[in-house]
Structure 1
Amino acid sequence: MKFSAASVFLLVATPSSFAFVPSKASPKSPAFVSSPYFRSTGPLSSTTEDDIEVLKHSIANNFRESDAKLASAARQQKKADLKNNDPKLAQIAAVETRAAVSAYLSQYQGQSGAAIIYSKLVEHGVEVVNGFSGGAVLPLLDQFHELHPRHGGKKPIRWITNSNENSAGHIAEGYGKSQPFGGKHLPVGVCIATSGPGLTNLITPLQDAICDGVPLVALCGQAATNAPKDAFQSCPAVDLTRPCTKWAYQIKSAAELPMVLDYAFYVARNGRPGPVFVDLPKDLQNQILTPELMDSFVETNLNEPNYDTAFCRLSERRRADGSVMQAVHIGTEGKGLPFQIIKDAENKYQIDAIPVVEETADTRDDFHADHNPTHTIVKNAPNGETLKEMVFDEGSTMAKEVLNLIRQARKPVILAGQGCNDSPEDLKYFAEKLQIPVATTLHALGCFDERSPLALNMVGMHGHPTPNFMFQESDLVICVGSRFDDRITGRMGSYIPKAREAAEEGRGGIIHVDIRRTEHKKQLAPSYFVHTTGKRFLQTMNALLHKDTEFGRASITAPWLKHMAQLQKDFPVKIPHFKTESIRIVNEQGEETLVPRTRMSAQSVVAELNRQLLEAGQMDNAIFTTGVGVHQMIAAQLITWTQPRQMLSSGSLGTMGVSLGYCIGAKLANPGKICISVDGDGSFNMTFTELKTLKEEGIAVKLMIIDNDGQMMVEYWQRLFHNNRLLAVRNTANPDYCTLAKAFGIKSVYCDAEEDLEAAMKDFLFNDPEEPVLFHVRVERTPCLPLVAPGQPLDDMILEDVEVDVDGAAAPS
């Protein structure tokens, strides 16, 4: 007797307490168990009644790992009868998976494509969506209206209309960058746009997000599938977005949407986070999910393994116990992930990622490993040759080797990257227990409280001098959650020479911890590479340290820390000041008087901002955003960073105009925080139309415009590298920003002299907490120093604004 997919669906769709869950590898099991992948050897049509009897036992007893003891003796007997290499096991596993997928899809039967999308947004905990309207996305937009019947009087997801799609993308980035950890769902930002120019306006936010690891889901309308070629506002959206996203896909049927959206959110949030893009033809937003569509989806994608299918297929795998399973592999070959169907605590079917439990040389899958860390450690020789690899945990001999190497190092430093943002307390314990100074990257500012005596602050091109000097002198660099970007290394061939020398002698070297296995040896070959999360590495090291109650560290690193204190004293970040001048003014009575006026630098303004927030005890409650330019690096240098994800800025792409959008997103995700945009006039001019959004939505952010009538960072480069031939760096007709704010009905404050700065800053920060405020600050043009010139070692810095000799062919990008 043969069974159809529909027959099997009837078997599995009845309410029960079981879940369709293959046994996962035990957390203590090796993450790279050697066993081959298998592929299905028979079609569904060859499945017999005997097979279905086995299937019944399998379904009835396939519990989660925690309930494995409840598995029946009958199922175990069947497993014994059908050897693991029997093709029937693969066939039965395929039947199980197809039945589970049918049950999963049936939860959305009768909904339109647009309704399914909205349902998935709710399931994934989305509370705010930014975007802009357009004809191709109207069915989806309609789902957000408070009067839509689906809401039944309940409050819908908050929809915010922006002034353009570019800003919508940056606001979603700000939301994803700053949404707090610890909730039911990992952080993510969501934006929606129409087809054509709506999509192309999102390219910059998508590229910004892929460069900086920002979790973002972008949903865009598209011309209908039956529209003529080159229809109005159609464009090759997937081709345009594929290079700047982790995954880009155009749906082919409403039946794909449940799995497409689940996969999109998983990929955006997991591994190194990043953007995904889903293209939504208008007719498929209106298409109703029917049994026929579901059957077609299952038969098309989940019959025989089909590696030409762009979306999903069956993927035969082995569980940790050696038994056969059929996963649903979503994504293209070589760049996709395996999932299983489970029932959650609310008795709802969902997809669940399968960890890396089996690898050989032939089956190694780096894309999978980049999203599901193997928690392994690799030891390399100084020449980069891999010596050995094993599981990384408290019992690992190589974990103990790493700890012993750290213990013997005389001049260790920690480089804390974005991968430490979810583990500030673990990092603090690790650094303090071992008495190791900590430097941070731009995106990690605040993950280590800079009020600590061990804080080196930001390292790199515009970093503090002290960490730049100390990295070059260090005998051991512990890099946790950073990828050795060129902005923090300087000339790579001259980077950390003493640590490389110590590696050769076996007394130091480089320990690199990263969630992506593909970062191993990408920029340099570390002594040890740990493929895990920053949090897991720190917790494992701390557990080992906690057991060693007799270990003392202060005497070993005391000279190193004394050296650090002296460097900080000798090489502070300098704040330019100007002489006080006497200015003749006419008072209200028409009398002339002389008043003292002192011009300001961007550095002095940021320093005053920092002072007032610290003295008011509000620094821990503040989030800062910046555009790109001198104001960005000055803020990074002079604000005392105390909390992770406190600094939101465009790092790798260097996108001007993002600060206002990031700030709006941060406030939406953190309504109880003081959200402050530290922006330059050049950056602010690009996106100030979002003042409309602030007023319409009543979003109480603080906007500080540091106005020097130009792009000072690039102007300084033209001065250094192009004989002071200035072009395209002066803004000679900036608006009156206070008048601009007034035009939008927003309060403004103005200051152009040191004598007024304290009072104006206090008004800006504290007097109107429930409404947006714009602070226009006029400053002189001063460069941001120190600066590691392009092509130079990390410790070769320009420290003062004086004439210096540079390589004219090495102008920075």
Structure 2
Amino acid sequence: MKLTGAQIVIECLKEQSVDTVFGYPGGAVLNIYDEIYKNMDSIKHILTSHEQGASHAADGYARSTGKVGVVIATSGPGATNLVTGIATAYMDSVPMVAITGNVPVSLLGRDSFQEVDITGVTMPITKHNYIVKDVNDLADIIREAFYTAKEGRPGPVLIDIPKDVTANQAEYEPVVPKKVSRCSKNITTESIEEAIELIKNSKKPYIYAGGGVIISEAAKELKDFAEKVQAPVTCSLMGIGGFPTNDDLYTGMIGMHGSKASNLGVTACDLLIVVGARFSDRVIGKPDKFANKARVLQIDVDPAEVNKNILTYHSVIGDIKKVLQQLNDRLEEQNHTEWLSEIKYLKEKYPLKYPTDCVSAQYAIEKLDEITEGEAIITTEVGQHQMWAGQYYKFKEPRKFLTSGGLGTMGYGFGACLGAKVGNPDKIVVNIAGDGSFRMNFNELLTAVRHNIKIIVLVINNGVLGMVRQWQTLFYDERYSFTTLNQDLDYVKLAESMGAVGFNITSKDQVEDVFKKAIEETKPVIINCVIDKDDKVFPMVAPGKPIEDVIVE
């Protein structure tokens, strides 16, 4: 049957079982939006306040559900407003399809009104991108884009569609989507056997887990593996939730703001088993001192990550779930009682701690964990509050902690919170923000109110750009260059002016009551939690220092 390009877009989204898209209309995508209007019974559209918010919402939807997030924007500035969100998804391996409009094919390359070469702009931050100049190619490109976004190491894909292509007609026949299979072609018997020998010969094994565990749905396999190896487990920021943070084997985050027990343990281990992690500079500190007593066994789906930042002794390339299943099937249970006792001692000697004589972010987050029983989905912006969330909320399952790890995008959390709540309507979803990040995206509160998306935003308000100020205090002789906000903002009135509900927290005895009221509310909620401007995130490793050189206060 003959359909217009715009109709083909919608039919292909239905083929891929897309139930929600996030976006913002404009001239170049009017034909697509006209078809969205006609198909509102099968595809929900969430109109955000800004295209960047839409891209982060698609990202949060994808991370929290495991599905592909979809975002639509018009040409020119609409498309370029997606760039930060696409880059965020790319750095954290999030499956997303971004659909942008463009000027008609005949006007491409002529500096036409609202024309941007968005495929050129996004080439470094997408797995692949396309510009569709012939409507006859449109359906196959959309199908290929969804497959590419999901297969192997996931990531964002962009499809740029000139306006006349959405108006032209082509033959369309429905196609069952190609199934994405787990990457296993590089998993050899030899590589598995060598990994097992390394584990058997180790007396002090340590597991360092990253976001790949969550992406490959391998949380159960990782837990079984850790118990079989009898090894302690540390996670990168992106790996949080891939292993239960309330488990006895878990030692906390690793790296710049990792626990002292994790950093000292990894430094002392003789085998570091790296599962779905990429050795970020924020994890390894001084590279030649990182785990320098250990052989490194790396398990990853992406061969490009092996020997990129840290040289490995052995690697197994393939889907994390598949690799761990094979290891678990063949590996005998190990006994490392003495090593685990040593790590337990470090955990007891160097616990996380914070001042208890006043309201603090750490206390608020611990109380939020207690009240929600660790079952909420937590999104964050970027800064001190992000680290405190990773340290003090107890994530027992994957896809509950959504944060911008690779790009470090201030402004990510509010959009991600919206997307996560849309994808998980029965879950409590909380965005933990700093007051600096809140300034970047609070326009999306209008989106939450417009669509009645019942989220909670906990603003950790210290009146400064907290993490940058912390660095200025420690490394720049307290020269606070443009990090003091001093904004006289009434968060309660701001929330109410937009149709939401606001609360203030200025003392510890208010925390529990406010959280309970916020959870019971039927409208979006903003909580302004006031803390001291000089509260700091500890532990901390100074940049360029070995990770065992931990500042604890």
TM-score when normalising by structure 1: 0.66
1:304-361 superposed Cα distances (whole Å, 9 cap, x missing partner): xxxxxxxxxxxxxxxxxxxxxxxxxxxxxxxxxxxxxxxxxxx964574899xxxxxx
Greater Rg by CA: 1
CA contact (8 A) 1:215 1:268 kept: yes
SS where residue 36 of structure 2 aligns? coil
- Of 367, 373, 392, 1:638 maps to 392
Residue 540 of structure 2 is aligned to residue 787 of structure 1: yes
- In structure 1, how many angstroms separate the alpha carbons of the residues matched to 2:177 and 2:313? 38
Q: Kindly state the Cα deviation for residue 798 of structure 1 after the two structures are TM-superposed.
A: 1.2
Give me the whole-angstrom Cα distance separating, in 1, the residues matched to 2:518 and 2:264: 37
Equivalent residue, structure 1, for 2:478? 724
Alignment of structure 1 residues 58-97 onto 2, 5 Å: none
Task: Report deviation, 1:489.
Answer: 0.9
Please give the TM-score of this superposition, normalised by the length of structure 2: 0.96
Match of 1:418 among 211, 216, 222: 211
Flag the 1:260–1:758 CA change in 2: closer, same or farther, 3 A: same
- In structure 2, the residue matched to 1:136 is 28
CA distance 1:192–1:493, shift in 2 (3 Å): same
Q: How many residues align?
A: 549
Where 1:442 maps in the other structure, the secondary structure is coil
> Aligned equivalents of 1:671 and 1:465: distance in 2?
37
Q: Moved runs in structure 1, 4+ residues, more than 4 A?
A: 347-355
Q: Report if aligned partners of 1:749, 1:760 keep a CA contact under 8 Å in 2.
A: yes
Q: Is the 8 A contact 2:237 2:253 kept in 1?
A: yes
Between the aligned partners of 1:178 and 1:456, the Cα distance in structure 2 is: 24
**Any residues of structure 2 matched to 1:382-531 within 5 Å, and which?**
391=188, 396-421=189-214, 422-499=217-294, 509-531=295-317
SS at match of 1:664: helix
Determine helix, strand or coil for the equivalent of 1:226: helix
Q: Which residue does 1:799 correspond to in 2? A: 552
TM-superposed CA distance for 1:727, in Å, is 1.3
Match of 2:465 in 1: 711
- The aligned runs of 1:222-237 (5 Å cut-off) are 222-227=102-107, 229-237=110-118
Q: Which amino acid aligns with 1:776?
A: N
Q: Is the 8 A contact 1:659 1:684 kept in 2?
A: no
Alignment partner, residue 777 of structure 1? 529
CA 1:714–1:198: 2 relative to 1, 3 Å: same
- Residue 324 of structure 2: which of 507, 527, 538 is its match? 538
Aligned to 2:438: 684
Gap regions ≥5 residues in structure 2 = none
> 2: CA distance between counterparts of 1:240 and 1:741?
36
TM-superposed CA distance for 1:128, in Å, is 0.5
Between the aligned partners of 2:149 and 2:341, the Cα distance in structure 1 is 44
The answer to whether the Cα contact below 8 Å between 1:373 and 1:516 also exists between their aligned partners in 2 is no
> Matches of 2:87 and 2:510 in 1, distance apart?
41
Structure-2 residue corresponding to 1:91: none
Given that residues 481 and 533 in structure 1 are in contact (C-alpha distance below 8 angstroms), is that contact kept between their aligned partners in structure 2? no
Instruction: Give a deviation string over 1:394-428, Cα, whole Å, max 9, x none.
Output: xx244233223212311101111112111111111
Give the equivalent residue in structure 2 for 1:612: 371
Tell me, in whole angstroms, the C-alpha distance in 2 between the residues paired with 1:189 and 1:137. Answer: 18
Q: Distance in 2 between matches of 1:353 and 1:166?
A: 30
Residue identity opposite 1:193 in structure 2: A
1:444 and 1:645 in contact (8 A); partners too: no
Q: Do structure 1's residue 192 and structure 2's residue 72 form an aligned pair? A: yes
Secondary structure of 1:111 counterpart: strand
**Is 1:255–2:14 an aligned residue pair?**
no
Where in structure 1 are there 5+ consecutive unaligned residues? Answer: 1-108, 181-186, 295-346, 356-370, 377-390, 500-508, 579-598, 801-813
Q: Is the 8 A contact 1:128 1:190 kept in 2?
A: yes
Whichever residue aligns with residue 406 of structure 1, its letter is I
Q: Deviations over 1:226-246 (max 9, x none)?
A: 237222111121111112211
Q: Secondary structure at the match of 2:45?
A: strand
Q: Where does residue 5 of structure 2 map in the other structure?
A: 113
**What is the CA distance between 1:122 and its match in structure 2?**
0.6
> Residue 561 of structure 1 corresponds to which residue in structure 2?
340
SS at match of 2:416: helix
In 2: Cα distance, 1:354 partner to 1:208 partner? 23
Q: Counterpart in 2 of 1:627?
A: 381
2:156 to 254, 257, 275: 275
Q: Is the contact made by 2:458 and 2:529 (CA closer than 8 Å) also made in structure 1?
A: yes
User: 2:84 is paired with a residue of what secondary structure?
Assistant: helix
8 Å contact 1:136–1:223 — kept in the other structure?
A: yes
Matched, 1:697 2:481: no
Q: Is the CA contact (8 Å cut-off) linking 2:469 and 2:483 kept in structure 1?
A: yes
CA RMSD of aligned residues (A): 1.8
| Preserved CA contact (<8 Å) 2:15 2:176 | no
Which fold has the larger relative contact order, with Cα–Cα distance below 8 Å and residues 6 or more apart in sequence?
Answer: 2
Measured in 1, the distance between the counterparts of 2:538 and 2:84 equals 28
In structure 2, distance between residues paired with 1:541 and 1:601: 43
What whole-Å deviation, never above 9, does each CA across 1:41-60 have from its counterpart, x for those lacking one?
xxxxxxxxxxxxxxxxxxxx
In structure 1, give the amino acid aligned to 2:52. Answer: N
1:463, distance to aligned residue in structure 2 (A)? 1.1
Task: For residue 206 of structure 1, report the CA deviation from its aligned partner.
Answer: 0.9
**8 Å CA contact retained: 1:472, 1:496:** yes
Secondary structure, counterpart of 1:559 in structure 2: helix
> Which residue in 1 is equivalent to 2:146?
265
Contact 1:709 / 1:734 at 8 angstroms: preserved in 2?
no
- Which residue matches 2:90? 210
> In the aligned structure 2, how far is the partner of 1:348 from the partner of 1:754?
58
Q: 1:681–1:709: 8 Å Cα contact kept in structure 2?
A: yes
SS at match of 1:498: coil
Superposed counterparts of 1:718-757, under 5 Å: 718-757=472-511
Counterpart secondary structure, 2:105? coil
Give a deviation string over 1:755-810, Cα, whole Å, max 9, x none: 22222222223x22x4322211111120111111111111111111xxxxxxxxxx
Summarize deviations over 1:696-754 as a string: whole Å, max 9, x none: 11111111111111111101111222211111211112421111110111122211011
1:127 matches 2:19: yes
Other-structure match for 2:422 = 668
Superposed, 1:584-595 pairs within 5 Å as none
In the aligned structure 2, how far is the partner of 1:413 from the partner of 1:447?
A: 15
Task: Describe the SS at the equivalent of 1:496.
Answer: coil
Structure 2 distance, partners of 1:689, 1:161, is 12
Instruction: Indicate whether 1:177 and 2:57 are aligned.
Output: no
* Cα distance between partner residues in 2 of 1:479 and 1:192: 37
Distance 2:259 2:350 in 1: 8
Which digits, 9 at most, give the CA deviation of each residue in 1:493-545, with x for residues without a partner? 1110110xxxxxxxxx1111111122222222322111111101110011113
1: CA distance between counterparts of 2:268 and 2:71? 46
**Equivalent residues of 1:424, 1:448 under 8 A apart:** yes
The letter of the residue matching 1:562 is S
CA distance in 2, matches of 1:491, 1:247: 33
